[in-house]
């Protein structure tokens, strides 16, 4: 049996895995889905939220497990699991990127988002006056994040979104071949994603190949749109 640690993306929280986690647990696996600082039930003030704080939270979770884990990151969570992989390679069996940012050393999420075409998210981000946090315009949230999800799931998810700290978005990851570079990597590509578009996914995979790439015909939230198929992909890791 394996332990899966599931890391959510921007604006979300550990709650987003609610449909997926029971499917993995039903097969006898352990699932941990923490809230990153400033997300979900975590009340860390936005101005104290950094990429390092995210990575440190994940490392705390990894250190608490009895075995190396399958570390899964969705969307912005790809940046987070990359940095955590550098800090705790011995606590990780594999990194899984679920339609996630797949950063090279020295690059930030913003570097990829700013160069993307046809994505609905960067053009519709609204940054606070002090520059510390961002939201997404209400009019595009459903299409950007939940285009193929049920109305009930869309309403449930939208009600739980929180402002996203800007600092983790603009901070480059710092990784080395000896730590992050030795970890097996799996990428779950979502072919109808309008947040991290298929073109952006292909570009990142070209620059930083993964050992395994699998595909889902869903939008940006496969854990809501098709949790059964996503579970099968994760169980195959």
**Domains of the chain with CATH codes:** 3-235 (3.40.50.1820)
Residues serving a catalytic function are: 75, 193, 220
Q: What pLDDT, on the 0 to 100 scale, is given for residue 201?
A: 97
- pLDDT at residue 95 in the model: 98
Task: Of 75, 82, 67, give the one whose Cα is nearest residue 13.
Answer: 75
**For residues 149 and 224, is the Cβ–Cβ distance under 8 A?**
yes
Return the minimum-mean-pLDDT range out of 115-119, 154-158, 206-210: 115-119
Over residues 93-112, the mean pLDDT reads 97
Largest CA distance in the chain: 48
Confidence class for position 83, pLDDT limits 50, 70, 90: very high
Q: Which pLDDT value is given to residue 113? A: 86
Higher pLDDT, 117 or 175: 175
**What is the band of 117 on the pLDDT scale with cuts at 50, 70, 90?**
confident
- How many CB atoms neighbour CB 51 within 10 A? 23
Order of strands across the sheet that contains 125-127? 125-127, 133-136, 164-165
Whether the pLDDT of residue 116 is over 80: the answer is no
| Span 45-82, pLDDT tens digits | 999 999 999 999 999 999 999 999 999 999 999 999 99
> What Rg value do the Cα atoms of the chain yield, rounded?
16
Place of tokens 């049920």: 150
């Amino acid at each position: 049996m394996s332990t899966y640690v599931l890391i959510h993306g921007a604006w979300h929280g550990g709650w987003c895995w609610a449909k997926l986690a029971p499917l993995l647990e039903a097969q006898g696996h352990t699932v941990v889905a923490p809230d990153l600082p400033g997300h979900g039930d975590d009340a860390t003030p936005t101005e104290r939220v950094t990429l390092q704080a995210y990575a440190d939270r994940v490392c705390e979770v990894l250190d608490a497990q009895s075995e190396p884990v399958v570390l899964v990151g969705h969307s912005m969570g790809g940046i987070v699991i990359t940095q955590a992989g550098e800090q705790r390679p011995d606590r990780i069996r594999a990194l899984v990127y679920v339609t996630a940012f797949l950063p090279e050393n020295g690059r930030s999420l913003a570097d990829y988002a700013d160069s993307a075409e046809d994505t609905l998210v960067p053009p519709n981000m609204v940054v606070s006056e002090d520059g510390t946090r961002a939201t997404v315009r209400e009019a595009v949230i459903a299409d950007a994040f939940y285009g193929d999800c049920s109305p009930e799931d869309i309403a449930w998810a939208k009600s739980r979104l929180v402002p996203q700290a800007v600092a983790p978005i603009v901070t480059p990851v710092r990784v080395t071949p000896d730590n992050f570079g030795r970890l097996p990597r799996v990428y779950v590509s979502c072919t109808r994603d309008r947040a991290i578009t298929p073109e952006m996914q292909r570009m990142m995979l070209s620059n930083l190949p993964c050992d395994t790439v699998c595909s889902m015909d869903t939008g940006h939230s496969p854990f809501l749109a098709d949790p059964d198929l996503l579970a099968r992909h994760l169980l195959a890791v």
